[in-house]
A and B are shown apart, each in its own frame.
Chain A
C-alpha cells in the first residue's frame, strides 16, 4: 500500500544552518505531495506542495522538489531560524477508487538553537 517514510528526528541545528529533512514515498500512480508543519501547541499548517513530477514547492524559504525517479520529496531550507522549530510532516494524497486521503509520515521534530 501507499506509505511515506521520513528521516527520524529529533534534528537539532544552530541558527543559520542548512536544513534537509528526507522524505520518500511508495505509491502507485501519481500522488500529490505535501509538507505540513506543526508549531508547538498549534494545529497542522500546509507548508508547501507539489502535484506532479519535477514540480518545486516553496514557501517561507523552504523548498521541496517532487522527484519521481527517486520517489522523494526532501524538504530543504538554506538558513534556519529559531522560529522554524516545529514538527514537520511529509504527506501524499491520491485518489484510489472512491477513496481520497492523505497518508502521513511520522513527523520529524526540528529544534533550532540560537
Chain B
C-alpha cells in the first residue's frame, strides 16, 4: 500500500504570497495532522483533522488554515507568507488520531520563502 504522499516536494515562494500544500493519507486512515519542522528542530504541531473536522490546533497564527476532504485527503494553506515560514511541512496520518496510535509521516514539502 502507498504511504502518506505529499505534494509538491519543493516550493519556492516570495513574501506576501500564499501557498497550498496537499496530503493524501494512507488508505483507511481518517485522521491527518500537519507539522512544521524548522531546520535543526523537532516538528511543531499545526493542525489535526479527523472525519473532516478540526480536532486540534497548535500555536500558529490565523494565516495558517487547513481542511480535510471527504476522501480524507487534506490541504494546508498559508497566507501572507513570511520569511520565517520557510520550513519542511510534514503531514501525518493515523487511523483515528487517538493518543496511542502511531502517526505515519510523508516525506514533507520543503517550502522556501525568498
**Number of residue pairs across A and B with beta carbons under 8 Å?**
65
Q: Max chain B CB contacts within 10 Å: which of A32, A36, A43?
A: A43
**A45: nearest chain-B partner, CB-CB:** B105
Q: Which of B41, B90, B101 contacts A107 (CB 8 A)?
A: B41
CA distance A76 to B105 in the complex (A): 23
Q: B22 to nearest A CB, angstroms? A: 15
The B contact surface, by secondary structure, is loop
CA distance A43 to B45 in the complex (A): 16
Q: A23 to nearest B CB, angstroms? A: 12
Which B72-114 residues sit within 8 Å CB-CB of chain A? 90, 92, 97-108
* A101/B45 contact (C-beta < 8 A), A31-B99, A32-B99, A46-B102 known: yes
Number of interface residues of B (CB under 8 A): 27
Q: A10 to nearest B CB, angstroms? A: 11
Query: Could you tell me if A43 and B107 are in contact, using CB atoms closer than 8 angstroms?
Result: yes
Q: What residues on A are CB-neighbors of B40 within 8 Å?
A: 107
Q: B42 near A: Cβ within 8 Å? A: yes
Q: What residues on A are CB-neighbors of B8 within 8 Å?
A: none
Query: Could you tell me if B42 and A43 are in contact, using CB atoms closer than 8 angstroms?
Result: no
The A contact surface, by secondary structure, is strand
Q: Max chain B CB contacts within 10 Å: which of A98, A102, A105, A107?
A: A102
Q: B55 near A: Cβ within 8 Å? A: yes
Chain B interface: which of A11-19, A77-85, A87-95? A87-95
CA distance A71 to B100 in the complex (A): 17
Across the A-B interface, the 5 shortest Cβ-Cβ residue pairs: A104-B42, A43-B107, A44-B105, A51-B100, A99-B56
A-B residue pairs in contact (CB < 8 Å), sample of 10: A44-B105, A45-B105, A49-B100, A51-B99, A91-B42, A100-B56, A100-B99, A102-B45, A102-B103, A105-B42
Since A44-B43, A99-B57, A100-B97 are in contact, a sample of 7 more A-B pairs with Cβ atoms closer than 8 Å, ordered by chain A residue number, is A31-B99, A98-B56, A99-B55, A101-B58, A104-B43, A106-B42, A107-B41
